[in-house]
Amino acid sequence: MAKIIDGKAVSAMIKESVAQQTKELVSSGIKPKLAVVIVGDDSASRVYVNNKKKACEVVGFESVEYALSKDTTQEELLKLIEKLNNDKSVNGILCQLPLPKQIDEEAIITAISPLKDVDAFHAENVGHIMIGNYTFLPCTPAGVMELLKSENIEIEGKNCVIIGRSNIVGKPMSMLLLQKNGTVTICHSKTKNLKEITKSADILVAAIGVAKFVTADMIKPGAVVIDVGMNRDENGKLCGDVDFDDVKQTASYITPVPGGVGPMTIAMLMQNTLMAAKKQNNIN
C-alpha cells in the first residue's frame, strides 16, 4: 500500500517560510506585490484566482486583481501588461489562462517582463530552465520536485516517465528531473506501447487531463506516482489522471487529488513572487 504524499502539509511549510522572509522584507520597507489578470468568467479560472489571492494574504503579500470582460481585445490586454511591467510596485504579473479566443496567449506571455514572469512561461525563462541557470521555475513542476524532496525520493539514475508534453508541465518537468540525473522519457498521444513504457518507470508523472487514465496494470510495483491531473469523474467528484484507489495498491508513494500537487502550485507561485521582489530590489 502506497504512502500518500501530503501536498497540503508540504505547501504549508513553504508558505510559512515565504511568510517569514516576507516579514523581513516588509520591515525593510519592501512589500511583495502580485498583479493577477483574469479575462472573462471561466469558473475554474475564478477558483484558481481566488485561491492565489488567499495565499497572498497568508504570506503577507499585497495582491491586486484586474478582472476584465470576456470581450476584452488583445490590444487592451497588452496595454495593461505594459502598464504593470512599468509599475515598480508590482513584482509579479500573472495572467490566468486560458484566455478568450480573440486573444493570442503566446503574445500575452511574451509581453510580460521576464523579471516579473512568476509563472515562468516566457521564452527567456524557459530557455534558462533548459540550460539549468534559472531564477523562476514553472510552479507545478517546481511543486512536484518539492514533493519528491519532502520524502527524500532519490531521482538520480531512476527511470522517470512523464505522460503529457505541455509547455506548462510536461516539458519543464522533464528538464527538472534530467537536471537531477533522472533518465527521462516523455509520453504523449502518439506514443506507441505506452503501458510498456510506464511499467518501466521508477517515478511516473501523469499530466494529461484525462480522469483516472493511469491504472494499476500500467505501474511498476513500488513506483512513485505523481498525479498532476485535475478532472471530474462520472459523479462530478474531483479526481486526477490516476485511478487512485486502484494504483495505491501497487505504488510505493502516491499523491492524492485533491490535496497533492494542487496546493504546491500555489505555494511555488508565492515563492517565485518573493524571489522576484528580492531580485528587483537587489537582495540575495
- What count of residues does the chain have? 284
d(CA 237, CA 196): 30
- For CA atoms 261, 264, 265, 268, give the dihedral sign: negative
List, in sequence order, every beta strand (DSSP E) within 164-276: 183-187, 203-206, 224-227, 231-232, 238-239, 253-254
Instruction: Read off the C-alpha cell for 156.
Output: 538520480
Q: How far is CA 62 from the centre of its chain?
A: 21
Residues 6+ apart with CB under 8 A from 111: 78, 81, 82, 85
Write down the catalytic residue from 15, 33, 52, 220.
52
CA angle, residues 258, 98, 141, in degrees to nearest 5: 50
Q: Residue 140: which of 115, 112, 166 has the closest Cα?
A: 166
Write down the catalytic residue from 119, 227, 241, 243.
119
Write down the catalytic residue from 15, 21, 33, 96.
96
d(CA 272, CA 139): 8
Q: Is 233 marked active-site?
A: no
CA angle, residues 230, 231, 232, in degrees to nearest 5: 140
Q: Is 71 marked active-site?
A: no
d(CA 74, CA 31): 30
Q: Is 245 marked active-site?
A: no
The residues that are catalytic are 52, 96, 119
